[in-house]
Amino acid sequence: MAQQDGPMALTQLTEDERMFRDTIRQFAGEQIGPLVRGMDEAQHMDASLIKKLFALGLMGIEVPEEYGGAGGTFFEAILAVEEISAVDPSVGVLVDVQNTLCINALVRWATEEQKLRYLTQLATDTIGAYALSEASSGSDAFALQTRAVKRGDDYVLNGQKLWITNAKEAGLFVVFATLDPAAGYKGITAFLVERGAAGFTLGKKEDKLGIRASSTCELVFRDCVVPASQVLGEPGKGYKIAIETLNEGRIGIGAQMLGLAQGAWGHAAKWARERKQFGKALVEFQAMQFQLAEMATDIEAARLLVYNAARMKDAKLDFLKEAAMCKYFASQVAERVASLAVEVFGGSGFVKDYPVEKLYRDAKIGKIYEGTSFMQLATIAKLILGKS
């Protein structure tokens, strides 16, 4: 079934998946579309929209039904991120972090008590955030300075986290800290920290180039007491939790960038059909036809990579290489397609009255977060060449 105003998606969807995708596409166009510019300018996610995302079940796609979720697949979460990001990548990353990072981490690693308490919340009214990054640990994500010290039945956290997506809206944070810096990755532990915990405050909110409606904030921990029952997984297993969830998160970002590229292409194609120069529509010029065709081909290639990686994850196959490839390629395609879309619009593409300017700004983050393009290439090279 063809994307609206876009190239044919060759990866087959089941009837249920098509219905799911079409429902989200309609929702995104009707409910998110009118809010995009206002949210971008205000750098704020509309609260009523968040409620609608929960009501539609998009904030708990993979949460099992016994915990109040949709009991869906990872592939369905990827479809949701793609379709929403075609309208607004800021909302796309809100849904992505919730599903592919936070919920995935709890479904895999939480105790039954933690699942009953937190998966139920995440599926119904609570946003999650994933707190790994720090000032000194960019691509070296596990050079953590945030410390966790065991005191009786509790842990005491001290440190700062930077660039935490969803932080302003989140009610639950998956926080990574080290028990022993000398132990390297073996000391890293994941904690479930609730908003409002004593000693935990929200710091600076970043003023960003793109995805401005998506909150990105600093987290500050000063003698924050976290009960031992709030450890996710086991002490010292945080590295494994982070690696596994980030591998899945890469596919989510691939889907976000895929959706962004599709949205930019749709706007460009519509403009080319309507805009007249020298007495005929832009789309009648062969140069424009070729440019749109090349953009569409790149988008379809990215879609195949993203869908394949998501299918492999659901099939419980090893998808590390495919996740790195789809994240790398989709982010390249998104930046290129969004840039060309601005050029299709000409001078109109350079102003905020038209949507491609925002998508061009939004595209840049795809090469940076959840593993830079260089880190994806390093992973790919290691897996295909066998280098350590």
Mean pLDDT, residues 240-251 taken together = 95
Residue 2 in domain: no
Q: Which residue has the tokens 């619009």?
A: 345
* Weakest mean pLDDT among 42-51, 58-67, 132-141: 132-141
Kindly state whether residues 300 and 346 are assigned to the same domain: yes
Residues 33 and 121 in one domain: yes
Q: What CATH number is associated with residue 198?
A: 2.40.110.10
Neighbouring-strand partners of residue 63: none
Q: Residue 5's closest CA among 274, 347, 251?
A: 274
Structure confidence at residue 139 as a pLDDT band (50, 70, 90): confident
- From residue 283, alpha-carbon distances to 114, 141, 287, 293, 300 in Å are 55, 46, 9, 11, 20
Q: Are strands 128-131 and 172-178 parallel, antiparallel or unpaired?
A: parallel
Residues 32 and 102 in one domain: yes
173 pLDDT higher than 90: yes
CA atoms lying within 13 Å on the CB side of residue 358: 24
Q: What mean pLDDT is reported for the chain?
A: 95
Q: How many Cα atoms occupy the beta-carbon half-sphere of 370 within 13 Å?
A: 30
78 in a structural domain: yes
> Are 196 and 245 part of one and the same domain?
no
In a domain, 31, yes or no: yes
Is residue 350 domain-shared with residue 260, that is, in the same domain? yes
pLDDT recorded at residue 8 = 41
Predicted pLDDT of residue 4: 46
pLDDT grade for 388, boundaries at 50, 70 and 90: low
CATH, residue 293: 1.20.140.10
Residues 302 and 362 placed together within one structural domain of the fold: yes
Could you tell me if 313 and 225 lie in one domain?
A: no
pLDDT of residue 184: 87
pTM metric for this prediction: 0.95
pLDDT at 10: 45
Residue 386 has pLDDT above 90, yes or no: no
Range of the domain at 273: 240-385
Among 236, 253, 271, identify where a domain stops. Answer: 236
pLDDT tens-place string over residues 283-334: 999 999 999 999 999 999 999 999 999 999 999 999 999 999 999 999 999 9
Residue 5 lies in a domain: no
Q: Would the pLDDT of 3 be above 70?
A: no
pLDDT over threshold 80, residue 5:
no
pLDDT band at 136 (very low <50, low <70, confident <90, very high): confident
Residue 83 lies in a domain: yes
Contact (CB, 8 A) for 356 and 370: no
Which amino acid makes up residue 241?
I
Residues 252 and 227 in one domain: no
Active site residues: 370
Query: For residue 25, what is the domain's CATH number?
Result: 1.10.540.10
Among 176, 203, 236, where does a domain finish? 236
Number of domains in the chain: 3
Do 173 and 288 lie in one domain? The reply is: no
| pLDDT for the residue 9 | 44
Q: Which tokens is 350 given?
A: 């350079």
Phi, psi of 150 (to 5 degrees): -75, 130
Residue 12: which pLDDT band, with cuts at 50, 70 and 90?
A: confident
Do 289 and 334 reside in the same domain of the chain? yes
In a domain, 361, yes or no: yes
- What angle in degrees, to the nearest 10, is found between the helix axes of 238-274 and 74-85? 40
Task: Report if residue 4 sits inside a domain.
Answer: no
Whether residue 278 is found in the same domain as residue 364: yes
Which of 178, 207, 236 terminates a domain? The answer is 236
Over the Cα atoms of the chain, what is R_g?
21
The answer as to whether 157 is a domain residue is: yes
Residues 138 and 193 in one domain: yes
Rounded to whole angstroms, the Cα distance separating 330 from 12 reads: 19
